[in-house]
Amino acid sequence: MTDRHRIPELPRLGVAIVTMGNRPKDVDALLDSVAMQDAPPVRVVMIGNGTVLPAYTGYPFEVTTVELDDNLGCPGGRNVALARLREFGDVDVAVELDDDGLLVDADVFSTIQRLYAADARLGVVGFRIADEHGETQRRHVPRLRAKDPMRRGLVTAFLGGGHAFSMDMLAETGDWPADFFFTHEETDLAWRALDAGWKVLYEPSLLLQHPKTSPARHAVYHRMTARNRVWLARRRLPLLLVPVYLGVWTAITLLRTRSLGGLRAWAAGFVEGVRTPAGERRPMKWRTVWRMTRLGRPPLI
């Protein structure tokens, strides 16, 4: 068989799940859905984010548990999981799943393997998220002016609830921004990936069933949303775009937010984002701005 016709080696998958210990039945169901996959993972890591974990037994894989003394937030907990997967040294692609998600189909992992085997520059694969009735919320479609959640293609963002990462990509771009704690950590990582020349693919055939929720259910939502947007702009945008990006999102927030308390929390978060250190500044290249614009979402909206 010639090199031209050789079948690419399928990447080895590792699974990372972060839980606060408050959804034990959901976690059991999620692990059951991982166990039914037709391409078994080589590693499964469960992070207890400030909680004690039970022993997970009876699966066709070993579940490595890590119990953290403090809740590091979702990005911080996932960084611990990624570090543990690296220690094993046998994972090519990391699949991260929300602890209240569920893999409905048995071919999710084998599809991920084929996607990465076919494209060496594929960095992120985002899943489609739908509730138990099959409905995908508008905020879970990673495009502007796109109501069809079944439209596949290259995008500039991905969904935090279910996705896959090339470990080679993470080695180049870095992991999650742990100090964000909650909200916009996906945007920071996606922008870094795009700026390094990696692809972000939205693949709607990869379904993660997830309860219908609102991010505003979290008490810190408005403050951290504002703070992290400011940090994001200060870290990743060319200087000329920083005031434009923040101005656009300020206008959108004023139009969308109906709660006076929410606006006060948002304003406090905005001030916090301006006054506190934003972390290392690595602005994206102007060619990345153009690339994102051609993909349908310039880094302004």
More confident residue, 2 or 95: 95
- The CATH label, of 3.20.20.150, 3.40.1370.10, 1.20.140.10, 3.90.550.10, for the domain at 3-213 is 3.90.550.10
**187-198: average pLDDT:** 98
Predicted local distance difference test score (pLDDT) of residue 22:
95
In contact, 238 and 195? CB cutoff 8 Å: no
Give the pLDDT band of residue 215 (cuts 50, 70, 90): low
Give the H/E segment covering residue 31.
helix 24-35
Name which of 202, 204, 211 is nearest 99 in CA terms.
211
User: Of 70-79, 154-163, 252-261, which range is least confident?
Assistant: 252-261
User: How far is Cα 26 from Cα 98, in angstroms, rounded to an integer?
Assistant: 10
Give the pLDDT band of residue 257 (cuts 50, 70, 90): confident
For CA atoms 243, 189, 18, 136, the dihedral sign is: positive
Enumerate the domain spans of the chain: 3-213, 218-281
Query: Mean pLDDT over all residues of the chain?
Result: 94
**169-174: average pLDDT:** 98
pTM over 0.85: yes
> Which tokens go with 47?
């992070």
**Maximum C-alpha span of the chain:** 68
Q: Is 238 exposed, middle or buried (0-12, 13-18, 19+ CB in 10 A)?
A: middle
Give the pLDDT band of residue 1 (cuts 50, 70, 90): very low
Predicted local distance difference test score (pLDDT) of residue 223:
94
User: How far is Cα 66 from Cα 84, in angstroms, rounded to an integer?
Assistant: 9
**19-46: average pLDDT:** 97
Predicted local distance difference test score (pLDDT) of residue 102:
98
User: How far is Cα 122 from Cα 214, in angstroms, rounded to an integer?
Assistant: 30
> Which tokens go with 273?
């984002």
> Which tokens go with 181?
């704690």
One DSSP character per residue, 94-160 reads EEEEETT-EE-STTHHHHHHHHHHH-TTEEEEEEEEE-TTS---GGGS-STT---TT--EE-S---T
Q: Indicate if the pLDDT at residue 188 is higher than 90.
A: yes
Q: Indicate if the pLDDT at residue 216 is higher than 90.
A: no
> Per-residue pLDDT tens for 61-116?
999 999 999 999 999 999 999 999 999 999 999 999 999 999 999 999 999 999 99
